[in-house]
Structure 1
């Protein structure tokens, strides 16, 4: 029984700039789909992508198997390729510089360690129904962060929005 998390974050209209995150969470065996999103405030695309992955994993029970889909190579490679080197070097990258966004990475690693996470890269803006799913209508879930979240949303980093959506759309083969 595997949970599926699609996580996306973005800044708009510029990077850095106003940023937001979005998550589509699918319970095991298609038992339910929920949509979660929030406004971060000023940030970078990297911060927004990491925040989306963190928020997605927070919503999955500890110990669960999770497929974490992201269109961010930064998130996927950080979880699957770069982590061991960063930890071995005291959170320094291959150039010997401190890893950016260490606090977010450490939070993400702790959440991943408490679950069985398999990170998966999905090409952004390529028609994947869940990567494009956002608030019940097709649109990249992190796109337009400034416009989508700072105006009508009125939330903040401590006030994410959540809704349960009846039945998931069919998953592409």
Structure 2
């Protein structure tokens, strides 16, 4: 009887240990947005064009995100309005990730459907992406311009999507 009880107790302890070590499905790592930003810049190299920090007032007015929902933000856009490249990284206050994601997605849809853009920027605008990991939310409209003269609109769009994917992959590595 003691052996059976000991074996049963040992099995319970092992299951508890394995279960305690497994990552929780909804658990997101804590990351440093400065490190994420640096990784994106490194991946894109000279093709990272945002060079001006967006103010909180711009973020609120253009995108509709309230400062009260943000814990940390890094947001950059180009100095020249000819370019559209934008990087926004937000660590939302606890539980506000979905709200931030919704605002960024609404902004992305506005850019695609209603804003006026230079033709050279359309592939980049159409490939813009919102990426979310819990309360960390990112807006990516980045990368090299496709300067091939013979490229079709579809090829330019695929090129732009590949550039955004490079930035997204750099971000996702922080949450693996």
The answer to whether the superposition gives a TM-score over 0.5 is no
Interval containing the TM-score (normalised by the shorter chain): under 0.3
TM-score by length of 2: 0.25
Q: Which has the higher strand share?
A: 1
> Would you tell me which structure has more helix in proportion to its own residues?
2
| Higher CA-based Rg | 2
Q: Which has the higher contact order (CA 8 A, sep 6+)?
A: 1
